[in-house]
Homo-oligomer: A and B are copies of this chain.
Amino acid sequence: MNIYADQAATTRISETAKKAMLDCMDKAYGNPSSLHTPGQTAKEYLEAARISVAEQIGARPAEIYFTSGGSESDNQAIFSAARLGAMKGKRHIVSTKIEHHAVLHVLKRLEKEGFEVTYLDVHGDGIVRPEEVCSAIREDTALVSVMYANNEIGTLQPIREVGRICREKKVLFHTDAVQAAGHVSIDVERDSVDMLSLSGHKFCGPRGAGALYVKKGVPLLNLIEGGAQERGKRAGTENLPAIVGMAAALEESCRRMDEDGRKVTELRERLIDGLLRIPHSRLNGDRKRRLPGNINVCFEGIEGESLLLLLDARGIAASSGSACTSGSLDPSHVLLALGLPHEVAHGSLRLTIGPDNTAEEIDYMVENIKQVVEYLRNMSPVWEELQKGERRYVIQ
Contacts and interface: CB of A to CB of B under 8 A. Distances in A.
Interface string A227-254: 1100000011111111000000000000
Nearest to A29: B12
Interface stretch (A55-63, A200-208, A371-379): A200-208
A318 B38 CA distance: 10
A317 interface: yes
Interface string A305-341: 1001101100011111000011100000000000000
Interface string A339-381: 0000000000000000000000000000000000000000000
For chain A, give the interface size range.
35 or more
Interface stretch (A64-72, A126-134, A160-168, A382-390): A64-72
Given A6-B39, A105-B226, A226-B102, A208 B239 contact: yes
A6 B71 contact: no
B37 A69 contact: no
A217 B198 CA distance: 35
A33 interface: yes
Interface in A19-77: 22, 25, 29-31, 33-39, 68-72, 74-75
Contact of A71 (B10, B29, B227, B316): B227
A111 to B, nearest CB: 12
Contacts of A30: 4, 6, 9-10, 317
A13 interface: yes
B312 A109 contact: no
Given A9-B33, A10-B31, A239-B68, A38 B317 contact: yes
A33 B10 CA distance: 10
Given A102-B235, A228-B327, 13 more contacts: A9-B33, A10-B237, A13-B25, A35-B308, A36-B308, A38-B317, A72-B224, A75-B226, A102-B225, A106-B226, A201-B237, A207-B238, A208-B208
Interface of A: 4, 6, 9-10, 12-13, 18, 22, 25, 29-31, 33-39, 68-72, 74-75, 100-103, 105-106, 108-109, 199, 201, 206-209, 223-228, 235-242, 305, 308-309, 311-312, 316-320, 325-327
